[in-house]
């Protein structure tokens, strides 16, 4: 369940007090010229709403402004002395060591993602109604956004019919991808769903090549081969395999790919917080009818009563609330992290996130997996890592060519993304107590290594392109 094109002027709530907006961003003076806050508010545009990096046109003025504005908005600002003195006081610890903030974002991104996946699956174990739970995920996020609007953090941006027309296709794809992901999570093991969702880069590349007409380097296509092979091997030997879970995960991949395409067309100067709120509201209304039609009768007849009988009213309501909050917040942290690091680092971190989720889900739920499944999963993850690194490298070269890269090196971000996935897998294994064979462990390790190799190759390609353009 895993956002980028639509983000323009919003600064994160978490880092608002630690950062300073660039001059190009509209600002509002607060008590003194030295203290500025952005008018965009906090950022909540999660990764799963980000278009593929391959779909970004870095040569366009709008794209250049968007990316440079995002990074300028997150520059650490030094502590200021009194207004009368006019001198700058020594920088604080966080301003002096910004990597501590970045590390915190990575940790919270992984942590919230793991907790969400674990709690989500636990709910499905006693309340197998994915359409209704999908509505809850979005509803809690919408309430969160409405509350933010109510207190002016951020101020609600007006929306006209033209912007609404652009956002509706994005919201439709988001709703379909979100619901089908949850159907898969409810039908099969969490680890298997995440293995299937590792194919998302393949669909993104195919859409870029055959729909958008963008040439994809042969190295990227070759790096996707292990992903396809690994998913095929894992699917053939997965103990929890069923067609509903497999097909739902595949539909989710396709939906998120089209969401990326429509997101590129829906570029707007509205801040990401308001965009996410509007899209969540639209997606919520899209998800409600299917939930009522497909699950309404069962829920009223015995769904709610069975769940309450198993865990009690308080725990049932609490679980639904917190799973919605974790869903919303982990997407927000994914965006916060992306804004602080280069694409390659984020790509690796995203791969590691999936590894962590897979691993922890196995541990927590005690799912048994065959040696072949473990090997296939590892190969798929390794392929995703390699693909992500190569792709991030290509994007990094484009960004350097347009002088938009101003922060963390892409390789650092790629490595962080890989580590994130490792953490998710590890914690999921610990939490769910899943037993894994030696072959599974070996396969997972191979997959992660492949991800790292892919990231390095991709970073190298991007660097070479940047050097050529600079020359």
Residue with tokens 């999570």: 185
Number of domains within the chain: 1
* Domain assignment of residue 1, yes or no: no
Residue 88: inside a domain? no
Is residue 188, in this structure, part of any structural domain at all? yes
Tell me, yes or no, whether 240 lies in a domain.
yes
Q: How many residues are there in the chain?
A: 471
On whether residue 9 sits in a domain, the answer given is no
The pLDDT value recorded for residue 6 is: 43
DSSP string covering 331-380: HHHHHHHHHHS-HHHHHHHHHHHHHHHHHHHHHHHT----HHHHHHHHHH
249 in a structural domain? yes
Predicted confidence pLDDT, tens digits, the chain (471 residues): 444 444 433 434 434 444 444 444 443 333 333 333 333 333 333 334 443 333 434 334 344 444 444 444 444 444 333 444 444 444 566 677 777 888 888 888 888 888 999 999 999 999 999 999 999 999 999 999 999 899 988 889 899 898 899 999 999 999 999 999 999 999 988 888 878 887 877 887 888 788 878 788 888 888 888 888 887 787 776 677 889 999 999 999 899 888 878 877 776 777 767 887 898 999 999 999 999 999 999 999 999 999 999 999 999 999 999 999 999 888 777 766 766 766 556 666 776 777 778 787 788 877 777 888 888 888 888 887 888 788 778 877 777 765 433 455 566 666 666 666 677 777 777 777 767 777 777 777 787 777 777 777 877 787 788 788 777
Return the sign of the alpha-carbon dihedral for residues 216, 220, 225, 230: negative
Taking the whole predicted model, whether its pTM rises above 0.85 is answered as: no
Give the per-residue pLDDT at 310. Answer: 95
User: Nearest Cα to 262, choosing from 207, 221, 202?
Assistant: 207
The per-residue pLDDT for 391 is 79
For position 315, what pLDDT does the model report? 96
Q: Measured between alpha carbons, how far is 417 from 343 in angstroms, rounded to an integer?
A: 10
Note whether residue 70 is domain-resident.
no
What local confidence, expressed as pLDDT, does residue 34 receive?
Answer: 37
How many C-alpha atoms does 164 have within 13 Å on its Cβ side? 6
CA dihedral (123, 129, 132, 135) positive or negative:
positive
- Domain range enclosing 448: 16-63+99-470
Q: Tell me if 81 is assigned to some domain.
A: no
């Amino acid at each position: 369940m895993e956002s980028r094109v639509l983000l323009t002027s919003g600064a994160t709530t978490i880092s608002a007090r630690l950062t300073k907006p660039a001059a190009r961003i509209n600002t509002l003076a607060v008590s003194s010229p030295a203290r500025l806050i952005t008018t965009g508010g906090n950022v909540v545009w999660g990764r799963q709403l980000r278009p593929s990096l391959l779909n970004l046109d870095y040569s366009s003025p709008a794209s250049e402004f968007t990316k440079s504005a995002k990074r300028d908005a997150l520059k650490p600002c030094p502590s200021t002395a009194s207004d009368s003195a006019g001198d700058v006081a020594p920088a604080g610890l966080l301003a002096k060591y910004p990597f501590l903030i970045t590390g915190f974002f990575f940790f919270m991104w992984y942590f919230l993602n793991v907790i969400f996946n674990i709690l989500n699956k636990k709910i499905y174990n006693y309340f197998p109604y994915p359409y209704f739970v999908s509505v809850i995920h979005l509803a809690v996020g919408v309430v969160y956004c409405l509350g933010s609007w109510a207190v002016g953090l951020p101020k609600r941006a007006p929306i006209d019919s033209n912007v609404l027309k652009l956002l509706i296709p994005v919201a439709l794809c988001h709703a379909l991808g979100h619901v089908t992901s949850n159907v898969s999570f409810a039908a099969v093991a969490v680890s298997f769903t995440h293995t299937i969702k590792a194919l998302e880069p393949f669909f993104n590349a195919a859409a870029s090549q055959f729909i958008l007409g963008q040439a994809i380097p042969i190295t990227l296509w070759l790096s996707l081969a292990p992903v396809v092979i690994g998913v095929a091997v894992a699917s053939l030997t997965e103990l929890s395999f069923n067609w509903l879970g497999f097909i739902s995960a595949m539909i989710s991949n396709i939906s998120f790919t089209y969401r990326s395409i429509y997101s590129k067309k829906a570029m707007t100067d509205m801040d990401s917080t308001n965009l996410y709120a509007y899209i969540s509201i639209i997606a919520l209304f899209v998800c409600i009818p299917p939930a009522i039609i497909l699950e309404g009768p069962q829920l009223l007849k015995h769904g709610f009563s069975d769940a309450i009988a198993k865990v009690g009213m308080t725990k049932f309501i609490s679980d639904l609330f917190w799973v919605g909050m974790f869903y919303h917040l982990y997407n927000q942290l994914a965006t916060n992290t992306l804004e602080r690091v280069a694409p390659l680092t984020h790509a690796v971190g995203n791969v590691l996130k999936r590894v962590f989720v897979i691993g922890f889900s196995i541990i927590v739920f005690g799912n048994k997996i065959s040696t072949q499944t473990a090997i296939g999963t590892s190969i798929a993850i390794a392929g995703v890592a390699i693909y992500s690194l190569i792709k991030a490298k290509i994007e990094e070269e484009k960004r350097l060519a347009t002088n938009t890269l101003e922060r963390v090196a892409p390789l650092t971000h790629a490595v962080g993304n890989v580590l994130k996935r490792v953490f998710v897998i590890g914690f999921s294994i610990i939490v769910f107590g899943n037993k894994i064979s030696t072959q599974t462990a070996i396969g997972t390790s191979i997959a992660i290594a492949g991800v790292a190799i892919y990231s390095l190759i991709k970073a190298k390609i991007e660097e070479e392109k940047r050097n050529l353009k600079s020359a």
